């Protein structure tokens, strides 16, 4: 008996879904500090007790000498690692400079080192961010792009979300002709647990404006990031 094979691909061009651009982020995610002054939070003593509970959960004796001060140290480390919740991205990019002598090309800051924490396992991921933008008349101090990266890195999220937030913040606040962000990182949730693949790198990118619409500008950005690397 003959069998009929049917194609699973659409037969008509009209059946294809139109290409869509990335969804825009809610400005409240990147224009203000993530923690409001009136937001209820546990007391420090409660946070330290939670650490003590986790130590007991893994089987530790929380009364042994080496762990007596660990809950306090962990909470202090959290205050440092997650300080991005209390910092405002809009304030970092607020001051700009107009003395550019008519400069009309993009500005690239490469190899911005960062360490962040994955929201899925609360384990570190670390690497480098490469950020470019094409200013309109005014530019921002170069160190501000590194500070912006640190603000989002010092919050719980995914690398994908962090990439999108950095690009969206620059796009919304500076309103340049385009933004390009490329992040490369190693995730310890994959290198020291689970599949335990040491050295595996994850790359994420986000392009807006001229970088999104002009493949030649994307290629030039990537060439400068990769071609000049060590």
130 is catalytic: no
Catalytic residue among 120, 137, 160, 229: 120
Q: Compute φ and ψ for 217, nearest 5 degrees.
A: -70, -40
* Catalytic-labelled residue, pool 87, 157, 159, 218: 159
187 as an active site residue: the answer is yes
**Phi, then psi, of 127 in degrees rounded to 5:** 170, -140
Which residues on adjacent β-strands are paired with residue 61?
Answer: none
- Catalytic position from the list 87, 157, 172, 187: 187
- Is 189 considered catalytic here? yes
Contact 219, 172 (CB under 8 A): no
Active site residue 120: yes
86 carries an active-site annotation = no
At 58 the three-state DSSP class reads coil
160 an active-site residue?
no
Q: How far is CA 174 from CA 93, 97, 104, 184, in A?
A: 7, 11, 15, 24
How many Cα atoms occupy the beta-carbon half-sphere of 173 within 13 Å? 26
Place of tokens 């002009």: 214
Strand partners, 117: 124, 156
Catalytic residues: 118-121, 159, 187, 189
């Amino acid at each position: 008996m003959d069998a009929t094979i049917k194609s699973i691909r659409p037969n008509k061009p009209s059946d294809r879904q139109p290409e869509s651009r990335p969804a825009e982020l809610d400005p409240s995610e990147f224009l203000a500090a993530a923690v409001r002054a009136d937001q209820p939070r546990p007391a420090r003593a409660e946070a330290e007790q939670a650490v003590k509970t986790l130590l007991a959960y893994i089987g530790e004796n929380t009364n042994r000498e080496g762990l007596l001060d660990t809950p306090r140290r962990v909470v202090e480390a959290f205050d440092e690692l997650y300080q991005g919740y209390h910092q405002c991205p809009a304030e970092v990019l607020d001051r700009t400079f107009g003395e550019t002598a008519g400069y009309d090309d993009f500005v690239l800051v490469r190899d911005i080192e960062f360490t962040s924490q994955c929201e899925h396992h609360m384990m570190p991921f670390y690497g480098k961010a490469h950020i470019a933008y094409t200013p309109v008349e005014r530019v921002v101090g170069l160190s501000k792009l590194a500070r912006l990266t640190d603000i989002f890195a010092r919050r719980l999220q995914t690398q994908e979300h962090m990439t999108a937030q950095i690009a969206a913040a620059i796009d919304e606040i500076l309103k340049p002709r385009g933004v390009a962000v490329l992040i490369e990182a190693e995730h310890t949730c994959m290198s020291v647990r689970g599949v335990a693949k040491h050295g595996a790198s994850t790359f994420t990118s986000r392009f807006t404006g001229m970088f999104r619409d002009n493949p030649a500008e994307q290629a030039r950005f990537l060439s400068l990031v990769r071609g000049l690397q060590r």
